Structure 1
């Protein structure tokens, strides 16, 4: 399959009628799949009403079919077609955070969406992305768009169009290149079908921000308990992982360096994921600074690109510092824990 790549300026007026957007939207209407930027990561979009299109998403990614997809919309009016009632908590969250990196789980109307997209569940996860290209493409298609991250399942999510090309060229119909994404981590997912809303996946909107507008929320136990069954996309299987084994290190810089030295003595190429503040504290085959520890949002933005960079250097084992689980740090540690298959070495 030939994969078309369109480079589009995010700031062009009337993006919906821009030729590249029209071409990409036509592919979506024809039940092909197209990658496009959002403010979080690049998504792999397909017609959420079509089994054919959704099957192509799963096929391109190699994604397990029991893993539901998030439905992307451009206007709240689209919800009426496939959801059944909007709880007050959900309405407040939409008003406050949409467009933005927040996915809301609602009751769905039967027979409106592909059962493949919702993995046969009675609920549907929906969000409105805060990216001009994503909104223009969805509007032009006139469809609800099912869109997981545009990468091979299990690998780090794509924050640049070239990441998508590396993983999916020849497997999908098109890629809309809108430059780097912003947040760098997937959306927060919150289930508003419960009396007390439940955060199923931490992301760009923090628990603290949510509680400021709707009061107390709970957190899915599966985020901390590897044996529990998660209810959100991206939480059930090993995700976000570089090629080399990744270990999280809960200890001092000296302890981490000791681990590196031991691995190098066995002839292995060792990488370290750290931050700008500590990049000169270590010696290893590859040391990558992933943002600034005192500005965790910069770590979030850089995380996936940093994890992919270890692949380019053909590193054998990676050790990563850990981060405080406050604010966006909760989402960072969630993704790192998934990438490391929950392997933590404690001093």
Structure 2
């Protein structure tokens, strides 16, 4: 299959492809999404094939209006309306009971659907022109770091999908928060993301967090719960939280023959980088949102280097740091 590379001015062509049941990658404020008509079972299955994604890993549907929401969920509880009023459009996905002609593959056979309204003008215009929700996971090969620009999508999916819309770099750089509201009295975060637990608690009061250490036997309600994710080809190892300890660990690993790529804050990198050691900055140490925005891109960039492993600085699990650490821990094979 030939993959078209489209400019933002070519939304009419992109929407034509989607209406014809094809798959198109497009930018959102979080990461690039791999979109298909969420009501077309054949089109949705093309997403799973292109990504190599397990069939029981559900997809998020993206909408451009509240009217679309009403058409595809059984009810919108007050808890959901509160979240919508504060965080939509934006990086917060709600899990609600589904209705209407959503393709069964979207929900992995469950009676629920994950839905969000992206905060990106191009994504909203595209959904509007297609006229139905777009099912859209991240536009990458399943298991690899999510794409934050069109070149990442091209690297993974060129020749496997109909088109890629180049909308530049994404802003947040990590996927949306997924909030399960099937029991409105017990809002539960299934995946941390662009909206933090602190922000949700400020408007909802009590918010529960899924325990990722619990073994998942049944089909997951949300993407990002069951399978290995976000991993480059090179192994990823998490550094100790203290700079002096991290430096000792790196020195010993290199003495033992490892060739390391280092991903840390600029503050740490000044102390750790050498002429022989590859290093990329994740931003200022007190700006975890910078680290979140740069993590996937930096993992992909470092994966191209002639190294044996990538070592990465951990951040505190508060605010967006929770989502950053969720992705890093899923990508990593070792904690140093």
Superposition TM-score tier, normalisation by shorter sequence: over 0.9
RMSD: 1.4
Contact 1:101 1:203 in 2 (8 A): yes
Contact 1:221 1:228 in 2 (8 A): no
Deviations 1:229-276 (A, max 9, x none): 554202211111121111112243233233323332343321111011
Contact 1:81 1:112 in 2 (8 A): no
Matches within 5 A, 1:26-65: 26-65=16-55
Matches within 5 A, 1:161-180: 161-180=150-169
Contact 1:150 1:157 in 2 (8 A): yes
Provide the residue aligned with 2:5 in structure 1.
5
1:340 to 326, 329, 332: 332
**1:67 pairs with 2:40:** no
**1:88 pairs with 2:82:** no
Give the Cα separation in 1 of the matches to 2:113 and 2:302: 35
Deviation at 1:228, TM superposition (A): 4.4
Q: Secondary structure at the match of 2:164?
A: strand
Give the Cα separation in 1 of the matches to 2:53 and 2:306: 25
1:227 to 196, 215, 229: 215
Give the Cα separation in 2 of the matches to 1:143 and 1:269: 49
Give the Cα separation in 1 of the matches to 2:244 and 2:261: 15
1:292 to 284, 309, 331: 284
Give the Cα separation in 2 of the matches to 1:314 and 1:301: 24
Provide the residue aligned with 1:145 in structure 2.
134
1:319 to 307, 311, 333: 311
Give the Cα separation in 2 of the matches to 1:340 and 1:100: 28
Deviation at 1:297, TM superposition (A): 0.9
Provide the residue aligned with 1:183 in structure 2.
172
Misfit runs of 4+, over 4 Å: none
Contact 1:87 1:193 in 2 (8 A): no
Deviation at 1:292, TM superposition (A): 1.6
Give the Cα separation in 2 of the matches to 1:167 and 1:50: 24
**1:257 pairs with 2:247:** yes
After TM superposition, the score normalised by the length of structure 2 is 0.95
Give the Cα separation in 1 of the matches to 2:241 and 2:164: 42
Contact 1:104 1:191 in 2 (8 A): yes
Structure 1, 226-235 or 176-185: larger mean CA deviation: 226-235
Deviation at 1:296, TM superposition (A): 0.9
Give the Cα separation in 1 of the matches to 2:53 and 2:168: 25
Q: Secondary structure at the match of 1:221?
A: coil
Q: How many residues align?
A: 331
Q: Secondary structure at the match of 1:236?
A: coil
Contact 1:256 1:319 in 2 (8 A): no
Structure 1, 252-261 or 171-180: larger mean CA deviation: 252-261
Q: Secondary structure at the match of 1:86?
A: coil
Contact 1:68 1:118 in 2 (8 A): yes
Give the Cα separation in 2 of the matches to 1:35 and 1:151: 9
Provide the residue aligned with 1:13 in structure 2.
none
Deviation at 1:56, TM superposition (A): 0.6
Q: Secondary structure at the match of 1:84?
A: coil
Structure 2 gap ranges (5+): none
Contact 2:30 2:173 in 1 (8 A): yes
1:330 to 311, 318, 322: 322
Contact 1:48 1:146 in 2 (8 A): yes
Deviations 1:63-82 (A, max 9, x none): 11110000000001012222
